[in-house]
Amino acid sequence: MRLKGFVAPLAAAAVIVGYGTASGDEPALSSGDTVRFLVGAGEPVSDLGINEVAHVTGQVSGTAQITGCGTADTDQHPIQKIVVVDPGSGVHAFQFDIVPVDQTTPIHPGTQLTNLTLLNSCTVPATGAQYDEYSGTVP
């Protein structure tokens, strides 16, 4: 029966589409978009050199409430990993936990950020957690 040959590919496509829409990741950012994010206070995110590139990796490892530190909302923001490299410098890569400030959904893994800039330092009043706020631009 010809229907059997059609059902398997259709089922596989449904699983792939379902996974893509159920993953909860924010849609990929566009070139020129700016992303603000927090890292633990004192982490040397932009100390590698002038050509640093941050790569968002993996999935969410937890959430953090960051009211008073870049945002006034009381939502939970995802905790994600970035790997910062300075291509061609010979300096090894560094990995950091980040908390996106402007969104409560994860940054899509694979997103790259350049022009990493320290904006300010802050403390979340409710928890005492201290962060440095950075911005980066999607190339």
Q: What pLDDT does 48 receive? A: 61
Q: What pLDDT does 14 receive? A: 33
In terms of Cβ atoms closer than 10 Å to its own Cβ (0-12, 13-18, 19+), residue 9 is: exposed
What are the average pLDDT values for consecutive 10-residue runs of the chain, which has 139 residues?
Answer: 42 34 57 94 76 89 92 93 87 91 92 93 94 94
Distance set, CA 133 to CA 18, 35, 44, 121, 122 (Å): 35, 10, 12, 6, 7
Q: What pLDDT does 27 receive? A: 59
